[in-house]
Amino acid sequence: MATHLGLAQNDSQYELSHLIEQTLVKLEQYKHSRESPLGSNCRHPQRSPFLVPVDSANESFQIDEIRQIIEGDLLPNLVVRSIHPHDPVVVNRHPSPWTVLGCGNYAAVFAHPDHPNHVVKVYAPGRPGLQEEREVYRRIGVHQAYSVCHHASDAYLVLNRLEGVTLYDCLRHGIRIPPQVIKDVDEAIKYAIGRGLHGHDLHGRNILMHQGRGFIVDISDFLNPQPCRAWVDIRKAYYRLYLPFISPLNLRIPGWMLSVIRKCYRIYAKSGLFARGKTTAATNSLGCSGITS
């Protein structure tokens, strides 16, 4: 995989505008912490998805360091392939001590033990979307339900690491998903819409649960204005099937069954049957009605 050393001019512009945006958000948070007798963290007492407390003075130094080991060690020794566009990419080879945190249909995500707060998302060769994802992170700014993008090259992104279990794995392992997770994701989608984005492609592997709260781990499709029902259908399935039947019985749903459900859902979505469905006020307010792509 090609490495990309050195910053292009638009990289610098991106990082500068990102820095200004982060500073403004931090000033806003500081203002609120002065207003609250409990301090800034008490606005979202359980919302701390990061593994290690962030020391912002040290952060840019850490990002420089991680970029060096990505470009000097990870990328030259990495083989990531996309075999089928509708299936997760495959990591054939990666250097030690990097670990694979997860694979999506476009990219693989890696962690390094010396950098517990950050992850590296490497797009498989030929898979599109990295520049769009970078733009989404620029527009999202800083919000408790989302990660932060610290650096983007042509091949990879350096993001804050979010802790937690994907909803997909919660179903596989019978881990209870409380309604608060659904509410957090609803709120996060509304926030994204307020920033000119769309809650697109929110499936079970793109949402994490940590300490009973919900986080959105993949926002790469949020520039896509096409209607997407994925989250609306997950929410509906949650209240109609999961809460009354699956959660009380503590059922585990095997991976193969989830895979069948995913494939059937894709066929159903493409069939156009959604278009005949009724759109609720809630789906409108989340901007998620219509046919998924």
Q: Which residues bind ligand ATP (CB under 6 A)?
A: 101-107, 109, 119, 121, 147, 159, 161-162, 166, 201, 205-206, 217-218, 220
Q: Is there binding between residue 133 and Mg ion (CB under 5 A)?
A: no
CB of 149 to ligand ATP, least distance (A): 9
Structure tokens at 165: 């279990």
Residue closest to ligand ATP when measured from CB atoms: 104
| Among residues 206, 283, 289, 292, the one that binds Mg ion under rule CB under 5 A | 206
Residue 75 or 208 with smaller CB distance to ligand ATP: 208
- Rounded to whole angstroms, the Cα distance separating 222 from 105 reads 16
Burial 179-202 (b: 16+ CB within 10 A, else e): eebbebbbebbebbbeeebbbbbb
Q: Is 110 within 8 Å of 96 (Cβ atoms)?
A: no
Query: With binding defined as CB under 5 A, does residue 218 bind Mg ion?
Result: yes
Q: Which is nearer to Mg ion, 39 or 128 (CB)?
A: 128
Of 238, 158, 227, nearest to 204 (Cα)?
238
Query: Between residues 48 and 279, which has the closer beta carbon with respect to ligand ATP?
Result: 48
Please, which residue, 101 or 223, has the CB nearer to ligand ATP? 101
Applying CB under 5 A, among 78, 103, 104, 197 the residue interacting with Mg ion is 104
In the bound complex, what is the minimum distance in angstroms from residue 217's beta carbon to ligand ATP? 4
2 vs 268: CA distance, rounded Å: 38
Cα-Cα-Cα-Cα torsion 228, 234, 239, 245, nearest 10 degrees, comes to: 150
- Tell me the three state secondary structure of residue 203: coil
* Interacting partner of 166 out of ligand ATP, Mg ion, none (Cβ under 5 to 8 A depending on kind): ligand ATP
Give dist(CA 162, CA 101) in Å, integer.
11
Nearer to ligand ATP, 161 or 198 (CB): 161
**Interface residues toward Mg ion, by CB under 5 A:** 104, 206, 218
